Amino acid sequence: MNRTKIDWAEFTSNPFTGCLHNCAEWCYARKTAMRWAHNKSTVYHRLAEAGVDPFTPAFSMKAYRALEQELKRARRPRRVFLGSMSDLGGNWPWLRIPDDGSVDPDSLIDRRQVLSLIRRLGAGVGWRAPHVLCLLTKNPKGLAGEWPGGPGRGFWVGVSADSADMAALRIYSLLRIVTAPVRWLSLEPLLEADPGHMIEGLESCDAQRLDWIVIGAQTGPGAPPPNVRTAKKAVEWAHAKGVPCFVKKNMRQGDTSVTWPMEYPKGGSK
């Protein structure tokens, strides 16, 4: 696990990396992978050396076992963003990277095995403390089923979206087919310009059943100003429905006259 500057998490861990969603140019994960491909100590460099796109989906057995042992040894609860450089729900093959770190483009690991290994972490076997493992996906169908854990521990499974229509579609699937201690929405970057449309989208998919909403702005060179009006309306709607909200620093800086909430799921660790 690595310390992170992400507001709502304490650590990130990436036993699985890469993605084939081909999102817009603001995808920080792809940019980071391409930059780290020049660092010989990283998996992205080894992928590039093997003639593979550094952002190819890959699963490191060594990194997985290291995370498993670290979760067992830790004496205090940790909130970990698991797979910050990937999407576990993605419907694609994964390269299997063995303990020696070698990359064979023809060596694949079955997607069901990847999901089984990650689910096993949340069972908390051998944990000394009630950790939280946060997952985000753009394809909730890929994470269908039960994700283990209890209040304040195990998995928090969420969907990411940047617009009202995208959020409504993904929230509907998340609530219908995924069972987890916490189910949440990440509106980051929040690009929806119409506050009314944002609320219509949340209302249309039973979003009041969510356990948490995180809101953030787009960052990086050329990023547009934060959609403060939309963020305000989303927070007001969520609070009226009893859904806790966490507004990230990059959105809070867009309007310092507002006391933006930094809340966590009810019963969740803070």
* pLDDT single digits (tens) 48-70: 999 999 999 999 999 999 999 99
Residue 66 identity (one-letter amino acid): A
Residue 197 identity (one-letter amino acid): H
Task: Tell me the pLDDT band of 216, cut-offs 50, 70 and 90.
Answer: very high
Region 74-97: what's the mean pLDDT? 94
Q: For residue 57, what is the DSSP state?
A: -
More confident residue, 126 or 252: 126
What pLDDT score was predicted for residue 2?
92
Percent of the chain, pLDDT > 90? 78
Q: For the segment 161-182, what is each residue's pLDDT rounded down to a tens digit?
A: 999 999 999 999 999 999 999 9
What pLDDT score was predicted for residue 259?
85
Residue 165 dihedral angles phi and psi, to the nearest 5°:
-65, -40
What's the order of all strands across the beta sheet hosting 58-60? Answer: 16-17, 58-60, 94-97, 108-109
What pLDDT score was predicted for residue 270?
41
More confident residue, 124 or 68: 68
Whether 268 has a pLDDT exceeding 60, the answer reads no
Question: Within 10 A of 104 (CB to CB), how many other CB atoms are there?
Answer: 12
Q: How far apart are CA 109 and CA 34, in angstroms?
A: 23
Region 219-241: what's the mean pLDDT? 89
What pLDDT score was predicted for residue 220?
73
Whether 150 has a pLDDT exceeding 80, the answer reads no
What pLDDT score was predicted for residue 26?
66
- Pairing outcome for strands 79-82 and 16-17: unpaired
**Cβ contact 215:188 at 8 Å:** yes
Which residue's structure tokens are 């979760």?
71
